[in-house]
Amino acid sequence: MKKLFIKNGRLLDPATGIDGKFDIVIMDGRIASMTPPGKGGKDTGGEGGEGGEGGKGSEVIDAKGLLVVPGLIDLHTHLREPGFEYKETIESGTAAAAAGGFTTVLCMANTEPVNDNGSVTRLIIRKAADAPARVLPVGAVSQGLRGKVLTEMAELKEAGCAAVSDDGMPVTDGGLMRRALEYSTIFDLPVISHAEELSIAGEGVMNEGEVSTRLGLKGIPNASEDSMVARDIALAELTGGRLHVAHVSTRGAVELIRAAKKRGVAVTAEATPHHLTLDHGALKGYDTNFKMSPPLRVPEDVEALRKGVADGTIDCIATDHAPHSSVEKDVEFDAAANGVVGLETALGLVLKLVDGGVLELATAIRAMTSNPARAMGLDAGSLKVGSPADVTIVDLGLKWTVEPSKFRSKGKNTPFTGWKLKGAAVKTILNGKVVYSRAKK
C-alpha cells in the first residue's frame, strides 16, 4: 500500500470550507485521512498510526509554512498534439501544467486531425497515460470545426471526452448550437462556447478603441463577444443545455452571465489571468505576445471581470494556454497568431490579484479547483476523504521572476516576461504521486 504523509500544512479546500492546519494521509492514490497536526490514529493512518510518518514505507512531506490545496484544474489548455508538435506536445504541455500546480487539464479539439471522433480522443488519452497531469480531451462540436455537421457526441463521450467545443472557432450556426446544447443534456457533455461573432469582429486584430485608432490597427468591438454570449445564453435557456462560456473578456458578457444565473440558466464561465491583469494599453509597443483572442479590453472591462470572479459570476479562472512557435509570433502584428502560454504563470498572476486585494484567497483557489470541477462534473477539486489525491502545495511567499527560457512548455510566447511574482507551486501531487518538485535555490 503506497502512503504519502503531508504534515503541518495549512489546508485550504473551498469545496468543503476547510481552512486550517491539518495532516493529510494519502493511501493508494486517495485521501485517507485529514487530522489536526499529530492527532492521526491507527484507524486513519495518521502520524501516530501505521500509515503515518512513523509507518513503514511512508513518504513524508513537511508542509510547515505552506498552503495545501486541491490540485489545480485548467479547463482551457491547447496541447497541440496531434498535428502541431513543433508548438507543444502532450509531454511538454503536461510538464508545464505540473510545474504550474495543475493536476488536471482539459485540452481543446483544434488539433490536426481535429479531435472530432473517438479515434483521436483515444490517441490523446493513450499518449497522456503516464503524463504528470491528468488530460481530459474536449471533443469538437462540429466535424472538422467547420460548423456544418455535428460530431457524434455519444462516441466522443464513450471515448473519454469531458466536454465539447469548437474553441478557436465560434459555432456561427445558431441551429447547430441549439442541437449541440440539446444533445448535451442527453450525453452529459457541457458545451464550451468560443463566443465571437465573426461578422462583427471582421479583420480586427485587437480591441476596438482609442489605442487601436492610435496604432492604426483594426479593432474588434465588445459587441462581437456580447452578441454571441447573449445568443448562447438564450439557447441554453431554451434547451436546458449546459453552457460554459470560455475566456470572457467584456463587461457586457459579465452582465449577461450574471443575469442568466439569476434566472436559473445552466451557464458557467471562465476568465483568463491575462484578461484579469492586462488591458489594451499593453499593445502600444506592437508586441505580438499581447495579441490574443479575445483581445485585451479596456480597463473598465478588466474591472468588471475582476468583480465577476470575486462575486462568483465568473466561476473559473482558466489559462487558455496557447503555445506558438517564433515562426508564428515573430512577424508583423497583423499576421501574428493569437494566443499566449499560461500554465506556468497562472497561479502566480492570480496570487498577485490576491496580494492586491482584488480577490480573497479562498475565492481564487475555488476558481481554480472546485468550480472548474463542478462546471465539468469532474470527480476532482476537493481534498475530502476518499477523493483522488490530487494536491498542490504552494509557497505563498516565494518570490520569482517570469523567465520564458525556463518554461517546461515549448511555447515561450508570454506577455509577462520579467514580471516579478510572489507565490508558486512547490510540489504537485497526482493520484498520490509527487509529479513535480520545485528546485530550491
In the block, cell 473578456 appears at 249
Q: Which residues pair with 399 in a beta bridge?
A: 422
Q: How far is CA 198 from the centre of its chain?
A: 24
SS3 at position 393: strand
* 76, 112, 412 from 270: Cα distances, Å: 9, 26, 23
Is the Cβ–Cβ distance between 151 and 157 less than 8 Å?
no
Which of 198, 201, 189 minimizes the C-alpha distance to 378?
Answer: 189
Burial class of residue 439 in the structure, from the number of CB atoms within 10 Å of its CB (0-12 exposed, 13-18 middle, 19+ buried): exposed
List all residues 6 or more positions away from 429 whose beta carbon is below 8 Å from its beta carbon.
4, 26, 71, 103, 389, 390, 391, 392, 393, 435
Is the Cβ–Cβ distance between 20 and 10 less than 8 Å?
yes
In the block, cell 489536526 appears at 36
Instruction: Give me the torsion for CA of 427, 5, 369, 349, rounded to 10°.
Output: -30
List all residues 6 or more positions away from 436 whose beta carbon is below 8 Å from its beta carbon.
98, 99, 132, 425, 427, 428
Can you spell out the DSSP letters for 109-125? S-SSS-S-SHHHHHHHH
Residues in the chain: 441
Which cell is 380 given?
A: 476532482
Gap between the Cα atoms of 391 and 277, Å rounded: 26
Can you spell out the DSSP letters for 200-242? HHTT--EESSHHHHHHT--EE-HHHHHHHHHHHHHHHHHH---
Can you spell out the DSSP letters for 342-385? -TTTHHHHHHHHHHTTSS-HHHHHHHHTHHHHHHHT-S-S---T
- Catalytic positions are 320
In the block, cell 497583423 appears at 334
Which cell is 186 given?
A: 442527453
Residue type, 84: F
